[in-house]
Chain A
Amino acid sequence: MLWQALTLQLGYNATLVAIGATLLGISAGVTGTFLFLRKRALVSDAISHATLPGVCLAFMALVAFGGDGRNLIGLLAGSALSAWVGLLCMNWLTRHTRLAEDAAIGAVLSVFFGFGVVLLTVIQSMGVGRQAGLEGFLLGSTAGMLWADALVIAVGGAATLALVMIIRRPMMMVAFDPEYAVARGLPMHRIDLMMMGLVMAVTVVGLKIVGLILIVALLIIPPVTARFWTDRSDRVVVLAGLVGGLAGYLGAALSASAPNLPTGPIIVLVSFGFFALSWLLAPVRGVLAAVLRHLRFQRRVHIRQGLLALAQGQKIYEPLTIRLLCRAGVVRADGVATEAGKACAAKALRDEKRWEIVRADQAHEATAALYDGLRDIETVLTRDQIAEIDRRIGGPQEVTS
């Protein structure tokens, strides 16, 4: 069943939904990347909630003019309009009042959504019937998707992608260094507004498939996931598109393969699965990599301290140190140094003394900054320099009591 779903053999509707979800995932991932890099990821939350009153008003207007209240293009146009109004409100609140952006986001999302709910109840009491489709915009409803709906989503998604490609450079510049962008003469506020406009377009396009509450996830999770794997912004954009598209495709297929699996939530959960994997396994920024890095560091510190203790004839009590030294062949199991171990320990102590000289000498200031107690001195100084330091240390001296 799942295999059939993955190869698009579950019928017309499932195929439409899968293609639509993939396109939506790609454009949401790509657009969301700029928002994420601009550190304004939650703005999408306000935008998506602000679509609700527009959907309701459009429905009422369509019915009032005698049309079919469920015309998707009409509803999407209405939602875009109210999302734009919400966006302007939010921008105005942050720029012209003392409110911080997060308060403005929260205010816009709750008030617009609340007003939308009021309108929803008004529509219910209008008694026109056929309003059942509107609740579907909250969480998405793919069951009754038509060819025309899929076409709207595909065209909208493609147009958004094309626009992103055209203005990606100024958006990236604003995301990384707004002040530099302004100094270069870029209209920062207008570019920000354009970025939000693109996010709004994705939101509106995604209303039908994942609904307005969960579209936020498609805008945020893929970029965050992609960010784990690379430090180059263009690759983050491409990877986020890939993750989003894959999540959309897999999610749609999964939800078609069994009953009671709503498309929107499944897509979100699949992309969270990608996120969780990346969070754990990503090479540099992942948790596993960080744990390994920490363990390696711990091992080096223990071995170093153990060697210094051996060289000064102190007994080692720390079991981890003994185990590590034992494994390195430096000591025997009872904590007594081997021949090789004695040599290593002597070298460690001598290096420590060399470092002491280096750190006391103004001429070696740059080198001294590299001292962390672990670095081998041969890796930062030439043989001549070390010989010079050894001369300053001098030979063995008599111990005076």
Chain B
Amino acid sequence: MSGEEFVPLSLTPLLIGTFAAIACALPGNFLVLRKQALIGDAISHVVLPGIVVAFLLTGAISTWPMMLGAAGAAVVAVVMIEAIRRLGQIEPGAAMGVVFTTMFAGGVLLLEQTDTSTVHLDVEHALYGNLESLIWLDATGWSSVLDVQALAGLPPELPRIALTLAGVILFTWLFWRPLKISTFDEGFARTIGIRTGVLGMALVITAAIAAVAAFDAVGSIIVIAMFICPPAAARMMTNRLESQIAWSVLFATVSAMSGYVLAGYGPLWLGGADAVSAAGMIATVSGLLLALAAVFGPCRTRAGAPGGA
């Protein structure tokens, strides 16, 4: 395919999908190791009421209020989960289940109650995202990448998700040692003076920010899949955290790229006429990668790696 076609139509969705996948997979590594993998699931459900409330308050689909609303909803959800878990002595899984289903139901109800026919806001959009529509109309070819005027027409999701990815990488890099120590041995981390509670909260907040930014661009399925599948597959490949993270980034990139390409061109190769959902395809590919890793990965069993552990 020539650059004239590729750059405007496929470059930006590919980049956005990849950035979103990596931004979710990085904190996902720690969440999976800490057995908090379902936080991503919960966050991506509660984002819906946050966005709807933000829409009701501002009356328009604009980015910052929506991001704030989503982040606010995530915080409310975390507080509610903790309140139910601590004060009601309910096990964390059930507390999470109570909160995110209720907030999601609230979001759906609000959405039905308000007139959103004039704007692009519905449950399906929230679930699948609209990766395919994030095209860069001002681009004419590879030369546009250096053209300031054309760059101004980039879909705003791209710089936003790139910024989020940079933030997530910065967080992981800055807090690498404390994160690693407190993930594997929380008691030891506390004795050497790491404030594990604050750090755990920061990790959840980082995950929430990544989820909200990715959700904005690609919908909640990718968010949940990318929080869990690439890190889980990477976990089967190695016993070292450094290489696990490298593997997870690789898996996230491969699923985002090949998922997008398969969704766009797979049906054409099979003789179909229309493309299928890119978000769904990316999640499916990441699942296939996980399945491969679970069957063939060198460190797939609990006993650990050959020669190690």
Contacts and interface: CB of A to CB of B under 8 A. Distances in A.
Interface of A: 36, 39-42, 44-45, 93, 96-100, 102-103, 105-107, 109-118, 120-122, 124-125, 135, 138-139, 213-214, 216-217, 220-221, 223-224, 227-228, 260-262, 264-266, 268-269, 272, 275, 279, 285-287, 290
Given A106-B41, A117-B221, A98 B88 contact: no
Q: Which of A41, A110, A122, A264 gathers most chain B CB within 10 Å? A: A110
Q: Which of A96, A118, A223 gathers most chain B CB within 10 Å? A: A118
A36 B92 CA distance: 11
B228 interface: yes
Interface of A is mostly: helix
Contacts of A93: 294
A25 to B, nearest CB: 14
B109 A106 contact: no
B108 A262 contact: yes
B101 A216 contact: yes
A396 to B, nearest CB: 50
A135 B124 contact: yes
10 contacts: A42-B93, A45-B41, A97-B300, A99-B294, A103-B228, A111-B229, A114-B280, A125-B276, A214-B104, A261-B113
Nearest to B84: A279
B300 A98 contact: yes
B56 interface: no
B283 A290 contact: no
A36 B94 contact: yes
Interface stretch (B8-16, B29-37, B162-170, B200-208): B29-37
Nearest to A219: B97
Interface in B259-285: 263, 267, 272-277, 279-284
Contact of A224 (B98, B229, B290, B299): B98
B91 interface: yes
Contact of B287 (A102, A111, A265): A111
Given A103-B37, A118-B280, A111 B104 contact: no
Contact of A115 (B88, B102, B123, B284): B284
B87 A121 contact: no
B212 to A, nearest CB: 17
B276 A106 contact: no
B301 A279 contact: no
Given A100-B37, A109-B224, A224-B88, 9 more contacts: A40-B93, A45-B97, A107-B232, A118-B280, A122-B267, A138-B123, A138-B124, A216-B97, A264-B108
Interface residues of B, number: 67
A112 B94 CA distance: 22
B106 A114 contact: no
Nearest to B101: A217
Contact of A111 (B93, B263, B290, B304): B290
A139 B229 contact: no
Contacts, number: 210
B250 interface: no
A47 to B, nearest CB: 13
Contact of B98 (A100, A121, A220, A265): A220
A262 B109 contact: yes
A153 B30 CA distance: 42
B93 A39 contact: yes
B105 A120 contact: no
Given A40-B93, A268-B105, A269-B109, A107 B277 contact: no
Contacts of A261: 109, 112-113
Contacts of B287: 107, 110-112, 114-115
B90 A224 contact: yes
Q: Which of B101, B227, B274 gathers most chain A CB within 10 Å? A: B101
Contact of A98 (B105, B112, B302): B302
A117 B277 contact: yes
Given A98-B235, A114-B283, A117-B127, A122 B101 contact: no
Contact of A125 (B95, B235, B267, B286): B267
Given A107-B228, A110-B225, A139-B108, A217 B276 contact: no
B236 interface: yes
B102 A125 contact: no
